[in-house]
Structure 1
């Protein structure tokens, strides 16, 4: 499996414990945006701290060994700036399907980096890892994430109404199920 994905501008690599500080910093930069969607980004409700970021990195390395979750850190190739995170989870190795998740560092938003990263990620998952279907689940009001999916060829399969409970106010959120096939 390919654990380094890159083009001229960006590089994506499997998360390492050495990424914890940059991860923590990016979460701090992006917390306001992340907390707008607490039903789908529950982890963002916790107060960020370096220890939690280290623990996350370590837990994802264990998940990698178990082939349950592959988390990639996205960086600018030239400067090594931390752009965001992209992962696959809910992997079905028999059917070659998985779900993807992503979030970008607000410091670099609207520069096209996440669009590039998702395009590269999809290409690698289809051509090098032999996945045939990828899913993405996005809060109906998370317009930037929805646009990112749509720009990269995901089609809205359905809207799962009242499917996720918002831990902040107990309301139920509608989640868009996007899908792309090889």
Structure 2
């Protein structure tokens, strides 16, 4: 997997060690914004920390257990999207994503998710995709709803976020749902 074209200005690419500084700079440039919903932001203190994440991501890809892709928009790293892990026995996975504050409102996450959904169902031949979003994170929740996911319920106190737990809304789409939506 080298590159996945989202549109004429946007592509998804595996993140590499030589991009650690770009990734760190993006996180650092919108730290307060990302920190509201992502528990790893405070532990990202230097490009060495992003190298650790990239090494983890490369191992994950090599082990065929998911991947992390940079969202590149007009040549700039705008955010990340990927599969947390792949449950090959049950043909299921979950998508995680984040976008730099300066890139919000361009539809990049929705378009990137849709592109990734095609890959998951068509190339990986999985059956179920899940997206979770904190119950207060309305922008993140709008993505799966916009893409035809079903709200399955709320996982109470699903994630520790610095000094408190947050509940997650759980959304899913099945292969059959995807086929029906594609045929419209």
User: Normalising to structure 1: TM-score of the pair?
Assistant: 0.88
Q: What does 1:63-142 align with in structure 2 at a 5 Å threshold?
A: 63-76=60-73, 79-142=74-137
CA distance in structure 1 between the partners assigned to 2:106 and 2:25 by the alignment: 19
Offset of residue 46 of structure 1 = 2.1
Higher relative contact order (CA 8 A, sep 6+): 1
For structure 1, the residue ranges without an aligned partner over 5 or more in a row are: none
Offset of residue 150 of structure 1 = 1.2
Q: 1:22 to 1:109 in 2, by over 3 A?
A: same
* Deviation digits for residues 87-120 of structure 1 (CA, Å, limit 9, x no counterpart): 1123111221101100011111111112111111
User: Normalising to structure 2: TM-score of the pair?
Assistant: 0.87
Offset of residue 9 of structure 1 = 2.2
Deviates more, 1:53-62 or 1:157-166: 157-166
For structure 2, the residue ranges without an aligned partner over 5 or more in a row are: 176-184
**2:31 counterpart of 1:31:** yes
CA distance in structure 2 between the partners assigned to 1:48 and 1:148 by the alignment: 29
Asked if the contact 2:2–2:14 (Cα under 8 Å) also holds between the matched residues in 1, the reply is: yes
Asked if the contact 1:26–1:106 (Cα under 8 Å) also holds between the matched residues in 2, the reply is: no
Offset of residue 154 of structure 1 = 1.6
**2:176 counterpart of 1:177:** no
Offset of residue 74 of structure 1 = 0.8
User: SS of 2:30's equivalent?
Assistant: helix
CA distance in structure 2 between the partners assigned to 1:110 and 1:24 by the alignment: 22
CA distance in structure 2 between the partners assigned to 1:19 and 1:151 by the alignment: 31
Offset of residue 3 of structure 1 = 4.4
Residue of structure 1 equivalent to 2:179? none
Residue of structure 2 equivalent to 1:8? 8
Offset of residue 84 of structure 1 = 0.9
**2:157 counterpart of 1:158:** no
Instruction: Select the residue among 52, 66, 71 that pairs with 1:55.
Output: 52
CA distance in structure 2 between the partners assigned to 1:164 and 1:11 by the alignment: 30
Asked if the contact 2:43–2:49 (Cα under 8 Å) also holds between the matched residues in 1, the reply is: no
**2:42 counterpart of 1:45:** yes
- Number of aligned pairs? 174
